[in-house]
Amino acid sequence: MRTKIMCLFIVSIFFAAGSLFAQTTQELRIGSFNSGNLGPGQEIWYSVTTTQAGILTVETISNFDTYLEAYDAQRNFIKDDDDSGEGLNARIEILASANTTYHFLLRGYSDHHTGPFRIFAAIEPMPVLTELRIGAFRTGFIEADESYWFSVRASENGLLLVETTGDTDTYLELYNENFVLLATDDDGGEDLNARIEIPVRAGATFYYKLRAYGSHSGPYRIIASSRPFPTPTPMTLRNIHSGTIFEGDSWYSVRTTQRGYLIVSAVCATGYSNFILDVYSESYELMDDDGRGHNALKIIPVEANRTYIIRLKGYSNWDNGPYYIFALQEQHPPAMGNIPGGNTIAQSGLLRNE
């Protein structure tokens, strides 16, 4: 009898847990709305299943500041959004495959952003691509709820730059030939213009999605250009190097001595600018996602006797000025608190001035 009661108890817990899990994710059908009331600190999961490939849009309608995150079927993060919708509402667009389930997490921007809301999902066919040739430009007028797609084919090995000019606040998203998101930018160009520059190989094709930021609208001009790979400045391991960024970037190379982990850190000398660090292989393949902040940091696994390329740039057009940068190697990934940087960079016994 005791065994039977225990089995019934376990089965009850199993079904209760299954019911609870089912309640944590709500189905959001394409072309329909779900309504709800978001409480302080509450998070609500939604699942959206597509029937066709295209641009999947999930958006909220409310009187408070909402925040959305998008994930694939395995709950791998895709992108997030705060205020791309109407007012302070969140709006996410992703390139979706047919017959695939995506997950969206809804919450208030902070605990005091609460109240009733509606959330809906819609899908449009795959975008029409306009060719944008290297050295050429396209012009037009973009409304707040519109977006335009451009395809750019790299004509040479080097750095491919696509940017907008004008008075309209623009936003760019960069995708590869498989429509995998590679980069986004808001104000990396002049004033409120968008700007994305990446290392490319000749013959590669990239897709750019252009839209106005938030509720902005107006005329736009989008330009594609390229330049050869720069000659990087050699860095010596454990030496502090210094420089200054003014609306551009700085390139370095470092040679590893052993297999392990390469640690690269850049520190803003004034403490007022945000920098981005990118680390590439010798063939200019990006090693990982960018690290940014007043003290940009990278920790990446490396092989012995290999050359790695380092790119340091400002997060936006306004982030520039003097900096310190250094690289060192360790056999094992160090604890974050043991990495020299910030105000202690010059006093660290692990480093030497150049």
Task: For domain 233-347, give the fold.
Answer: Jelly Rolls (2.60.120)
Amino acid 354: pLDDT: 56
What fold, for 129-227?
Jelly Rolls (2.60.120)
3-state secondary structure 150-199: EEEECCCCEEEEEEEECCCCEEEEEECCCCCEEEEECCCCCCCCCEEEEE
Residue 18 has pLDDT above 50, yes or no: no
For residue 245, give both structure tokens: 């960024």
Question: In sequence order, what are the residues at sequence separation of 6 or more whose Cβ sits closer than 8 angstroms to the Cβ of residue 135?
Answer: 224, 225
> What pLDDT shows up at residue 106?
96
Residues in the chain: 354
- Render pLDDT for 52-92 as a digit per residue (tens, 0 to 9): 988 899 999 999 999 999 999 999 998 888 887 888 999 99
Residue boundaries of the structural domains of the chain: 24-124, 129-227, 233-347
Whole-model pTM over 0.75: no
The answer for residues whose C-beta is within 8 angstroms of residue 117's C-beta and 6 or more apart is 35, 36, 37, 38, 60, 61, 62, 64, 66, 106
Confidence (pLDDT) at 50: 95
Q: Is the pLDDT of residue 48 over 90?
A: yes
| Higher pLDDT, residue 87 or 16 | 87
Domains 24-124 and 129-227 share a fold: yes
With 60 as the cut, is the pLDDT of residue 249 above it? yes
Residue 11: pLDDT above 50? no
Give the span between the Cα atoms of 100 and 204, in whole angstroms: 27
Q: What value does the mean pLDDT take over residues 282-297?
A: 67
Q: What's the chain's average pLDDT? A: 84
Q: Which CATH number is 24-124's, of 2.60.120.380, 3.40.50.300, 3.30.420.40, 2.170.8.10?
A: 2.60.120.380
d(CA 98, CA 54): 8
